[in-house]
């Protein structure tokens, strides 16, 4: 049985308020699962084991890791992307991969890469018969590349209870003009074809976000949709994970009044926690290793949803 993230939780709503997050003292010790560079992890439960995919590291386009269970042990090895897409720069990096299974049993990989002409980031897809790959790029053009966005990155799929597929992603924004935003694009069943116009879900409108929000990930509870996202610049210790709630995926989303994961909330045990993905009662995320800015390891913490709101531990 294939189980992708976006946990469905049966919980009775006793409040409609978006509350703050637990104090650092209430948070259990984050588990370091991959102690090497493995940023923007996407976690997949295949039914016979777990896979994780990350942003490019060194010569590996899309690293893949394997584990018998969500807590590991995790083994990193292999490249999920078979070849460089015709439209992408070979040395531009492949960011924030996301894997989903289609109705025909095949697997679809979403990723961001730089255009050979212009250099802006756009979102493409690749296909494989196996979850771990290798994935073959689809077509000669990216799937999402919106003029004026300043780049489109961080794709994340979500399949709603009725089977409707969506792709969430970030528009980079620009130094002058609107800041970064997170969008939802409804898709046809093939997972590659947009169906109707996109919808803006969130925009970087808080001072603490420094004009940056990214890395969207959706969880559906009994009565609402929770949108996790990262904010601030990823090189900063102020980089953190927040969340917003809405009665439907179309919104309106209301941001929580405090970060959900941050360097301070985790007592300094993880530096700049972001790129979160929620699977099987755990939130996986990356953070800088060794007090430097050269490698981001993969961590996890238990997560639950009392009263339809996220809680660590």
Say yes or no to pLDDT of 8 above 70: no
User: Where is 213: in which H helix or E strand?
Assistant: strand 213-220
Pick the most confident of 6-10, 118-122, 152-156, 287-291.
152-156
- Identify the pLDDT of residue 18: 44
Mean pLDDT of 287-302: 95
pLDDT of residue 121: 96
Give residue 178's pLDDT: 77
SS3 297: strand
List the domains of the chain with CATH numbers.
35-307 (2.115.10.20)
Q: What is the DSSP letter of 138?
A: P
Residue 24 has pLDDT above 50, yes or no: no
User: Could you give the dihedral angle defined by the CA atoms of residues 281, 24, 33 and 81, in that order, rounded to the nearest 10 degrees?
Assistant: 70
Block residue for tokens 């590659």: 192
Q: What are the backbone dihedrals phi and psi of residue 66, each rounded to the nearest 5 degrees, phi first?
A: -125, 150
Beta-bridged to residue 57, according to DSSP, are 60
Q: Are strands 225-231 and 240-246 parallel, antiparallel or unpaired?
A: antiparallel
Rounded Cα distance between 233 and 47, Å, is 35
Instruction: Tally the residues of the chain.
Output: 313
Please state, in angstroms and rounded to a whole number, the distance separating the CA atoms of residues 286 and 298. Answer: 5
Q: Does residue 7 register a pLDDT over 80? A: no
- Do 153 and 170 touch, CB atoms closer than 8 A? yes
Task: Output the pLDDT for position 28.
Answer: 75
Bridge partners, residue 284, by sequence? 277, 300
Reported as a pLDDT band with limits 50, 70 and 90, residue 177 is low
Question: Pick the residue with more confidence: 208 or 17?
Answer: 208
Residue 195 CA to residue 164 CA, distance in Å, equals 10
Give pLDDT tens digits for 182-204: 999 999 999 999 999 999 999 99
Integer Cα distance of 285 and 247 in angstroms: 25
Residue that wins the pLDDT comparison between 19 and 190: 190
Report the pLDDT value the prediction gives residue 176, as an integer from 0 to 100.
57
DSSP string, 48-106: SSEEEE-S-BTTBSSEEEEESSTT---EEEEESB-S--TTB-TTS-EEEEEEEE-TTS-
Q: What tens digit of pLDDT does each residue of 119-135 get?
A: 899 999 999 999 999 99
What is the pLDDT, as a whole number, of residue 1? 44
Say whether pLDDT at 20 is over 60.
Answer: no
The number of helices, as runs of H, and strands, as runs of E, in the chain is: 0, 21
């Amino acid at each position: 049985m294939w189980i992708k993230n976006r946990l469905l939780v049966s919980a009775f709503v006793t409040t409609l308020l978006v509350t703050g997050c637990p104090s650092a003292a209430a948070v259990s010790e984050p588990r370091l699962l991959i102690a090497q560079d493995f940023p923007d992890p996407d976690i997949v439960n295949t039914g016979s084991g777990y896979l994780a995919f990350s942003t490019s590291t060194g010569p590996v386009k899309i690293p893949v890791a394997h584990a018998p269970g969500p807590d590991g042990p995790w083994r990193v090895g292999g490249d999920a992307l078979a070849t460089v897409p015709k439209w992408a720069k070979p040395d531009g990096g492949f960011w924030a991969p996301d894997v989903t299974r289609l109705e025909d049993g095949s697997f679809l990989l979403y990723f961001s890469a730089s255009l050979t002409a212009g250099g802006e980031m756009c979102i493409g897809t690749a296909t494989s018969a196996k979850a771990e790959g290798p994935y073959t790029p689809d077509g000669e053009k990216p799937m999402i590349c919106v003029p004026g966005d300043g780049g489109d990155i961080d794709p994340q799929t979500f399949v709603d209870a009725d089977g409707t597929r969506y792709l969430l992603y970030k528009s980079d924004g620009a130094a002058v003009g609107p800041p970064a935003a997170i969008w939802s694009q409804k898709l046809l069943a093939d997972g590659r074809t947009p169906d109707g116009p996109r919808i803006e879900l969130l925009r970087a409108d808080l001072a603490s976000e420094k004009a940056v929000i990214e890395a969207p990930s959706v969880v559906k509870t009994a009565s609402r949709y929770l949108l996790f996202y990262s904010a601030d610049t990823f090189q900063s210790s102020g980089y953190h994970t927040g969340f917003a709630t809405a009665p439907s995926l179309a919104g309106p989303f209301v941001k929580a009044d405090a970060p959900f994961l941050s360097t301070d909330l985790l007592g300094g045990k993880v530096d700049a926690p972001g790129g979160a993905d929620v699977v099987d009662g755990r939130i996986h995320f990356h953070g800088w290793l060794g007090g430097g800015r050269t490698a981001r390891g993969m961590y996890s913490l238990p997560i639950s949803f009392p009263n339809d709101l996220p809680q660590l531990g």
